[in-house]
Amino acid sequence: MKKDIEIPIAKDVDVAIIHEWNADFLSKDWNAYVINGRNTPIDMVLVVSKGFDDDQKTATMRHGIGSVRPKSFEKIETIQEDVLALNNEFFVTFFAEDKLFEKRFVFPKNSVKSSALKLVPFIEKEGILAK
């Protein structure tokens, strides 16, 4: 029955966009990270990302992250500056506690900017957490 279906709530997992130095290209890049703030690892982490607004949309990107240790993070992708003018969505799916969890994270258009940077937990660099 429909009432018997349990949909677990994904807690203590976040997505952040960090503005950090790229030594290879000698520039500051925007990079997206998945953060595991849980006390247990999360496994088989999959992230589907895209940018969109009323008129435009980017290609849908799929990333197999694998496992993320407790209280740590893994890089998802580098984001081009032009894409930050769009809504950026990250749909994260993972296994923990022998259950499948999923959560949608959105960075509203133009919300990722230098003036909004704050220290991000676990990564200890300046960035923005998704809402």
Q: Tokens representing 86?
A: 């769009």
- Give domain status of residue 85, yes or no: yes
At residue 86 the predicted structure's pLDDT band, cuts being 50, 70 and 90, is: very high
What predicted TM-score, i.e. pTM, was given to this entire model? 0.91
Q: How many domains does the chain have?
A: 1
- Give domain status of residue 103, yes or no: yes
- Give domain status of residue 112, yes or no: no
CATH of the domain at 54: 2.60.40.1400
- Measured between alpha carbons, how far is 88 from 61 in angstroms, rounded to an integer? 11
- Give domain status of residue 74, yes or no: yes
Neighbours of 17 (CB within 10 A): 26
- Give domain status of residue 64, yes or no: yes
pLDDT digits (tens, 9 = 90+) for 5-48: 777 888 999 999 999 998 888 889 999 999 999 999 999 999 99
- CA-angle at 113, arms to 49 and 54, nearest 5°: 50
pLDDT at 1: 66
**Boundaries of domain holding 46:** 12-107
Residue type, 63: H
**pLDDT (average), residues 102-122:** 93
